[in-house]
Structure formats: structure tokens, C-alpha cells
Structure 1
Amino acid sequence: MKKKTVFYLLLFTIFKPFCQEKVLELPKVFANKCQSDKESYSIPNQENGDLMLLLEENKKFYSYLLNSKYLQKSTITTKTLPSKYRSILGYSVNNNTYAIFFANSRNTKFGIQTFNFDTKSSTNVFLDFKIKGEKYVESVNYKNKIHLITISKNSSELNIYTFDNKYQPQKKVISLKQVEYQNPSDQYHTINAHYLLTSDSDGFTISVEKIESRNPNVIETTSKLTKLYLLENQLIFSFDYDKKETKLCIIDLDTFLFTYKVFDKPSKTEKGFTGSNSYIYDNKIFQIASSSQKMKFTISDIISNNTIKEYAIKKEDSITFKNSPIIQEGGTSFFSFSNNDRVREMEKTGKYLRKISNSNLGISTYKVNDQYNIILGGTKEIYSGGGNFAPGFGSGFGAIGTVGNLNAISINFNPTFYGYNGYRSNKSTYINCLFDHDFEHLQGDIPKNIYDKVNEFEDTLKKPSAINIFLHNHKIHYGFFDKTDKMYKLYRFED
């Protein structure tokens, strides 16, 4: 019996099933299987677990409402909004009516396309809503409502517009004045929140990186100095322009109460660091500081502000807490997930420190098998085109995406899709580290995360189209059109 038991265990280990499960097949969803201009989108109902799938072809939407078990409840076919409404700001859900909010390219005109699955009808609503003297920042979806965020120009006043079921906005104004500081090159002027939320170069482009921390995030994403998180009911802006402190502006989306917190970086009490950054995960703040001579990173509790653990190295040290070689990735193959031809390994700590200190420094954390995988490194942008990510949306986290096969970045409406693709447009140097729940270093290989599993699955497909990768009911989903059997297929992945 013991031999048989061992045999069956080995058999299960060798032939254990894939981590993905096919949850839906939709036959004959597109009119032309060979035509390339097809897209798929998704809108999860955050209250009851329903899911709206939206397939687009030839300026038509084919929409499907599914229940939490992926069974079809209703369908609607309709035309898309006029072409001037290109940007998707977010959505709202009221019972079985789903409303998608759009704007023109300048965010001066706004429209809504509604899908009423009870009456199987769709309507267009053009809003008499304008943001005067304000700059659009982001949108988030919380409890099936859209929250549109702007910053008043040349000030630190943050505005949050929440739309009700009649699509009327309620405005809340929150002061971010505590993040202001004196301009080091001009003693008569102050650096305000408007400046911090827009790019240094033109004061027009929004420079906030929206973080979906439920997914793995690479250094290319987390190296930005201003980040936005939606963690349960809390909207958190983190500012890392100050080399000595991370400043957090926390807004409760239920009450709109504001909390301001400051966390000292390793460079606050120790000289010699030239760069720093932070990352928020699991109610903890992870901070890093480095130079060509040394590096230190710390983990602190956000609620108590107490430091939990810190690690430090100098250029002459070996890195005892790393679980991978020092890895340098290139960015030569934008449309391929094969990284073998653009990955280098290095051995010397000094070279690693020089590389990351001459780059945009970043730290990222993700939990796999109840262990913390922490990535420490730096990145340099080598691709600035910005318009080659496939569209798609549906994480429930809001903001600008585009329709009409414009091949524009959909960072904001679907950070899950963007996160899966984002590493291919940059160049980074990093180490992978593994820690237990007390942040004691663990030996062993880094376990595969959910994106690794999606990548392996995608490699088995033959030229999938209308791809959409999104979060729904706390699980990653992968949808695509299979040209071979003319079906749209949806898979759900387990961690």
C-alpha cells in the first residue's frame, strides 16, 4: 500500500492540472474571424460578483451580462459612442444597468453609454459637466461608483467628483497643502500638489502611477515618485520627491476624511544615499535608499509607524538576502514575452549598486505562498512611444482607456493588463528576495507568481486576438478570441 501511495503521489505531482480553468465559451461572437480590429473588455460588478463582457468590432458593442458562475443572464448589441468620445474614465453599476463614462481627448466633454440588461436596451447620455480651472488626474471605481479626481491648477486642492445613479456629480474638495515645500531653486515659490501630480517637463501630463497591488508589479511601474493606490476604502497618494521622507495622503472614500502621514527613509538619519523610493503593500510601507556605495531598505507598519525590519549592504559586501542572481533586463522585444535574449546576470555588488543608482530606483512586493517576494532595483526608460499597449479594461480600478482600436495605453482603466505588459518597454536591473511573515530571509527559489502562470498559458495559444487580462472576484482572468474555432474564451487563474 505504501508503494502504491507513493506512486500515486508522484503521478499527481507530474501530471497535476494547470492552474487555469476555462469558465466561458462564446461561439460566433464576431462577424469576421480574420479581421484584426477586435477588442474585448470587462466590467466587474463589485457588489454581487456579476461580470459584463464587452466585445467590440466595426464600431459595434456586443455586450454580455454573466452571473457570478459565468452563466449568461442577458445580451445587448449596440453601436459605440461617437468617435470623439475616445477616453474611458470609468463606470458605474446600478442593479442590472451598467454605465461607462467617456470623455474626449482633452477631457472637456463627457458622455455615458448605458447598458440596461433588464430591458436589453442601450442609451447615450451627454453630460453638461466641465472641469474649469482643474486638471484631470485619475478615476477610480469603488462600490460600483465612479470617482473622478482632479487637481485645481497651480494649487494643492484635490477635487473628487462622485457620480450618483442619475449621473449627477457630488464634489468634495481636499487640501493636500501638507505635501508642499519650498522650491529649492526659487525661494519665492512653493512646489504644490499640482506640480507634483504633473510632469516636470510641461506641467500638463499627469505623472501619477496607479498601482494595483493585488497583482505583481515590476520596478518599471513602482519606480515612479508619485503613486496612487486604492486599498479597500482608502485612496492613498504617496509622494517620494523628498529624499528623506515618504509622504502619504490618505482619503477615506466612505467619509472623505483625510489623513496625512510621514515615514522617514533610511536617508533621513544616514548620509551618502543619492536616490530613494517606496511601495505600499499589506498595510506596510517598504522603503529603499541607495547610492553607488551602499543600499538599505526598511519595512514599517503603516498604522503604528514602527520599523519592522531593515537590511543594508555596501559595495564590498555579498548580498546574503537575495534569492536570484543580479539580473539586468533589456527591452529589445516589445511584442514578445520571451526574455531569454535580453537578460544578463552580474555578480559584483558594486556593479549592481552603480546600475540602480544611475536609474530610477524602485522596490516592489508581492505575496506568493504566504511568503514575501521583494524586488529591489532600478530602471531606465528606453521606449518612449507610449502608444503600443493593446486596449482593454476591467480591473474595477478606473480611468482612462480607449475604444475604437486606437492602440492607446489603457493604464488607468485596467492596471492589471498594463502591469502584465509593462516590463517590456523598459530596462531594469534588480534582485529577487524571499522573506517569511516576520521578514526573515528564506533560502530557496522564488515561486512563480500569477503573471508567470498566465505567461506560460499564453505561450500555448496560437495567435490569440482581442486579449483582455483583468481582475474579477480576486482572481486573474484571461479572455481572448480563438480564430480556429471562432469562439471567445475566458479562463480564470488560481494563485
Structure 2
Amino acid sequence: MRKVVILIGLWCVVFSSVAQEKVLELGEVFDKKRSNKECYALPNQLNKNLVLLFEEGKQFYAQLVDQDYQEVSKVNAKTIPSKYRYILGYNIIGNRYSIFFSNSQNTKFGVQTFNFDTNISENTLLDFKIKGEKYVESIVHNNKIHLITITRKTSDLNIYTFDHNFKPTKHVVSLKDMEYPNPKNRNHTITAYYLLLSIAGDRSRSIIDIEKIEGSNPNVIETTSKENKLYQLDNQLIFSFDYDHKKTQLCFIDLEKFSAEVKSYDKPSKTEEGYSKSNSYIFDNKLFQIASSNQKMKFTVLDLETEKIIKEYKVTKADSITFKNSPIIQEGGGMFPSFSENRVREMEKTSKYLRKISSSNLGISVYKVDDEYNVVLGGTKEIITNSGFGINGFGSGLGFGGTIDNGIWLSFNPTFYNYNTYTTTKSTYINCLFDSNFNHIKGDIGKNSYDILFEFEDGLNDDIKAVNIFLHQNKLHYGFFDPNKKTYELFSFNR
């Protein structure tokens, strides 16, 4: 037993040194006994500096650290007025960090600036309104916020870029090439505005519905099963639309030239009858598409550079699924079994799997572990609860840009949002493993970065506060306030 304990201890030391590293420990970030404490991260995309913004009550404490996590400067300030509670993004000029906020309706906008050279914070309420437009999303590119709207009833995207005085420059990007006649109504044209409004077929509430994808991390089926997705890849934005059952439409937007290119890619249901659901996912410059019914399923991998199909796999309800590396799993949470506190079931029959995913929101998720692709194929259903929705106290603190149905905004930090998306859905899926040519590989699925985070989190005390998970310097970071030590600790993880 003693040898076993020693071996376990050595394994933990080795695992800790490889998987994680404590990069920062801060004292005196919170000085009150309030239970609501939050932390937000603002990574500098150009010089690898980082600002950690701590919120407690109506007070902000902002700490600037350099690329080696050495403390540079700090600013204490009151929070921006309470009606501006939703973070959209930020601008960075030198050591001046300006965070953009809005009210819940996106009709009023404000900026809180933290100047780490003068240690002063200032609030600016913007005389900026979006008339005849609806807010879509916001992104940070080269340390500048880009606020995206769409002109009502059109396919014109408006991208507002703000200068150091918070004056916007408007760039109109037309997606008119993606329009097509509505097959259900000859007098109506499908526009980008129509596709972005709520869930297809139910647009009475006039809510923009789009999922912001962070492709560097695993994404759960609950996220990737959405019809409208937005990817930010280097200097490019990609809007993907999967409303049409027979094609995926991709709109590529150059963030330097503010020009657009629209392309359409046939789904498996285009060339073969008998599929009732379809969707797609972009990863590693490849388009993954899936189509299913209660009779069969097919998924394909297309190279976006050559626009040629690399591989396709098909299964019918009478077949066994020879390309899966896990049982058919049904659970009450997300696609990562360790995340779910609900009962997990395993199925044997392909027919049950096809029936479950084809009566759900169909989706694909893809990520790489070393040089191997883990592809998750499945479907998810939202579970209606009476308890509402909340993640780690988000409802009591600031909000994050990107609406969901109940008004909480979360996609300012899609990494954190995706990690926590597992409690309000019921998913059925399989895990598949492929080599670089998408030939099936037998064997177990390796741990992904979220698995490692979960194991780390499981070893922490239950009373930690102000948890934040984010990407910085191409590494995942996990930060938390330890109320016993009264310190904020930040760890980085090799991905």
C-alpha cells in the first residue's frame, strides 16, 4: 500500500508539472465579505499582456500583468452605471484599456477606460445608436472592438470599428449573394436578416440567434447544433448558415478589407433522399457536414481550400457503427461524460441512436488531440426547467455579449460559456477518432483540454469564488479566488 501511495504521489507531481502551472497569485483583490465576486480577463492580442478585472459590489479592481505575469500596474474604480452591465468587448492602446458596455436592449452604450499609466479610470457614455439595425455580435480583432449589426430585412452587415476617441467607423458588408427564394413562399426572399432572427420557423420574438464558436477548444454539441454560427479565424470572420436542408452557406468576411465572399456547399441530403436533419461545423480549414433521419446517417469532410471531399461515412439503422470509438451515449449534460451529474446511459442499437439524434438538434463537434481528430456526432434537446439559467453567479455580476433566450449574455468569453454548457440539455452522441486523412483509428479517445481542466477543478475547494476560464497566449487559463487564503490564483494549462 505504501508503494502504491508513493507511486500515486509521483504521478500527481508529474501530471501537475506537465498539465498545469501556477502563473500568478494576487492578494487584496477583494476586500469585502460580499458573496458575489467576479473576474474577467482582457488579453492583449499584440504584446501578450493581460488585464484581470475584478468586480465586487460596485467596485472594480483592475490588475495589469506583462507576458511573464509580472505585475505592472493596477487601478481601483467604481463600476460603470448599473444600466450598462453587458460587456461587448474592448479596445487597447498602449496601457489604456477601454471596455465597451451596453444595456440589455443594445440601445445605449458606454465605455469604462482603465489607464494603467496614470492609474485613473474614466466613464464615457456614447452618443451612438443603431437605427433600423439589430445587434448581432461583437469581436475583438487586433485589440479593437468590432461591433456587428444587420440592417433590418436585408443582408447588409454593418461593422463598426471604434477609434481611440470612441468614434465609430461604419463598414457595410453585403451578403446579398447568399439570398435565395423562400421555397415555402414565392413572394418572400431568404435574407441574412431572416436567417439570423430567432430559430428558423419561429421569428415572432425578433431575437438574433447566432452561436459564437471558439474553435481552439472542444465545443459541446449543445453549442455546435445551432443553425447559425460565427467563427473568428485570424483576419477573417465566417458566418455559417444551415437553415437550408440541402446546403451550407458560408460567408467569409475579410476584417482588413471589409469585403465578403459567399460560398455554398451541398449537404449529403442534396444528392441523396431520405434525410430529415442536417448541420455543419468548421474546423482546421475543413467543413464537416452531417445529415440524418431515423433510417440512416452520413457525414462528410470537405477541404475548404481545394473544395473537394476528403472522406465520407454512412450508416443505416441495420448496420453497426464501425467508425465509433465509444458506446452510443445518452446523458443529461454535454458531450463530455465527466461533466454531467445526471444519469448516463449506453445504447447498443444503431436504430435507437438514429431515432434519438434525428428527433433532436443535430450537430458535429471536432477537435484535435495531438495529430488525431476526435469527431463527435450527435443531437441535443433542451430541457425545460423552472429554475432558470445561471452560471457561476453570472446573473448577479456583469453580462457577456451574445444573447440567449432568457436575456443572460455570455459569449464575450465563449471559452467559459462552452465549458459550462452542460446542465440544461439532453444529448445523444458517439465519439469517433480519425487520422490526418480521416481514416478511422481504433482505440480510446485521449483526454482533451477540458477533461484536464475538469480534473483540476475537481480537486479544488468547493468555496472558491470568481472562477474564470479563458484563452491567453494560446493556452487555457483557470483563475479563482481562494477565500481561505484571500488570494486570487491563476493557472495556465498546456493544450
Superposition TM-score, scaled by structure 1 size: 0.92
Q: Give the alignment partner of residue 14 of structure 2, picking from 1, 4, 16.
A: 16
What SS does structure 1 have at the residue aligned with 2:422?
A: helix
**Counterpart contact for 2:146–2:159, Cα < 8 Å:** yes
Equivalent in the alignment of 2:378? 377
Residue type matched to 1:60 in 2?
A: Q
Q: Give the drift of 1:408.
A: 6.8
Quote the residue 2:340 is aligned against. 339
Q: Alpha-carbon deviation of 1:43? A: 0.1
Q: Which amino acid aligns with 1:16?
A: V
- Give the total of aligned pairs: 476
Q: CA deviation at 1:64?
A: 0.2
**Alignment correspondent of 1:395:** none
| Contact in 1 for aligned 2:339/2:454 (Cα 8 Å) | no
Structure 1 equivalent of residue 206 of structure 2:
204
User: 3-state DSSP class of the match of 1:187?
Assistant: strand
Correspondence 1:159-174 to 2 at 5 A? 159-174=158-173
| Change over 3 Å in CA distance of 1:289–1:251 after alignment to 2 | same
TM-fit CA distance, 1:90 = 0.8
Instruction: Tell me, yes or no, if structure 1 residue 322 matches structure 2 residue 324.
Output: yes
- Take 2:87 and 2:309, find their aligned partners in 1: how far apart are those partners? 40
Indicate the residue corresponding to 2:309 in structure 1.
307
2:95 is matched with which residue? 96
Partner in structure 1 of residue 37 of structure 2: 38
- Show the counterpart of 2:473: 473
In 2: Cα distance, 1:331 partner to 1:437 partner: 29
Aligned-partner SS, 1:423 = coil
* Deviation beyond 3 Å, 4+ runs, structure 1: 8-15, 383-387, 398-402, 407-410
Post-superposition shift, 1:340? 5.5
Three-state SS of the structure 2 residue aligned to 1:189 is: strand
Note closer, same or farther for the CA distance 1:270–1:21 as it changes in structure 2 (3 Å cut). Answer: same
> Are the aligned partners of 2:155 and 2:191 in contact in 1 as well (CA < 8 Å)?
yes
State the secondary structure of the residue aligned to 2:240. strand
CA drift at 1:409: 3.6
CA contact (8 A) 1:386 1:409 kept: no
CA contact (8 A) 2:248 2:264 kept: yes
Deviations 1:168-203 (A, max 9, x none): 111111111222232333221222211111113325
Aligned to 2:124: 125
CA separation in 2, counterparts of 1:477 and 1:226?
A: 28
Cα deviation, residue 411, structure 1: 2.3
Relative distance call for 1:469 and 1:408 in structure 2 (3 A) is farther
Whole-Å Cα distance in 1 between the matches of residues 208 and 348 of structure 2?
38
Matched residues, percent identical?
Answer: 60
Contact map agreement 2:340 2:422 (CA 8 A) in 1: no
Question: Do the aligned residues in 2 keep the contact of 1:388 with 1:408 (CA within 8 Å)?
Answer: no
Q: Deviations over 1:118-161 (max 9, x none)?
A: 01111111111110000000000000000000011111111110
Deviation (angstroms), 1:114: 0.3
**Counterpart residue number, 2:220:** 218
Question: What is the CA-CA distance between 1:399 and the residue it aligns to?
Answer: 3.2
Equivalent in 390, 393, 412 of residue 392 of structure 2: 390
Q: What are the superposed Cα offsets for residues 373-405 of structure 1, whole Å, 9 maximum, x if unpaired? A: 00000000114676412367xxxxx83599xxx
Alignment of 1:335-484 (within 5 A): 339=340, 341-383=342-384, 387-390=389-392, 399-400=401-402, 409-463=408-462, 464-484=464-484
The reply to whether residue 274 of structure 1 matches residue 276 of structure 2 is yes
Distance 1:9 1:310 in 2: 45
1:222-237 superposed matches below 5 A = 222-237=224-239
> Is the Cα–Cα contact under 8 Å of residues 273 and 289 in structure 1 kept in the other structure?
yes
Separation in 2 of the partners of 1:232 and 1:148? 17
Alpha-carbon distance between aligned partners in 2 of 1:204 and 1:94, rounded to the nearest angstrom: 36
For 1:446, give the aligned amino acid: I
Moved more, 281-290 or 416-425: 416-425
Letter in 1 for 2:225: S
Unaligned 5+ residue runs, structure 2?
1-5, 395-399
More moved, 9-18 vs 241-250: 9-18
Deviation, structure 1 residue 15: 5.1
The residue aligned with 2:3 is: none
Pairwise CA RMSD:
2.3
1:156·1:175 contact (CA, 8 Å) conserved in 2? yes
Pairwise CA distance, 1:104: 1.3
Structure 2 counterpart of 1:5: none
Matched residue type, 1:381: E
Distance 1:143 1:204, change over 3 A: same
Deviations 1:59-87 (CA, angstroms, capped at 9, x unpaired): 10000000001000000000000111111
Inter-partner Cα distance in structure 2 for 1:469 and 1:340: 20
Counterpart for residue 397 of structure 2: none
Could you tell me how far apart the structure 1 residues matched to 2:39 and 2:358 are? 40
2:135 corresponds to 1:136: yes
Aligned partner letter, 1:17 = F
In structure 1, the residue corresponding to 2:30 is in which secondary structure?
A: coil
Q: Are the structure 2 counterparts of residues 15 and 42 from structure 1 closer, same or farther at C-alpha, using a change threshold of 3 Å?
A: closer
The amino acid that maps onto 2:295 is: Q
Q: Distance in 2 between matches of 1:95 and 1:127?
A: 22
Residues 401, 413 of structure 1: 8 Å contact kept? no
Residue identity matched to 1:411 = L
**Structure 1: unaligned runs, 5 residues or longer:** 1-7, 393-397
The equivalent of 1:238 in structure 2 is 240
Which residue type is aligned with residue 440 of structure 1? Answer: N
Question: Aligned equivalents of 1:57 and 1:340: distance in 2?
Answer: 30
Letter in 1 for 2:228: T
In structure 1, what residue type is equivalent to 2:97? Y
For residues 337 and 441 of structure 1, what CA distance do their matches in structure 2 show? 24
Secondary structure at the aligned position of 1:485 is classed as coil
Contact 2:175 2:260 in 1 (8 A): no
Counterpart Cα distance in 2 of 1:454 and 1:70: 20
What residue in structure 2 maps to residue 4 of structure 1? none
Question: Residue 187 and residue 386 in structure 1: after superposition, are their counterparts in 2 closer, same or farther (change >3 A)?
Answer: farther
Letter in 1 for 2:177: Q
8 Å contact from structure 1 (residues 327, 345) kept in 2: yes
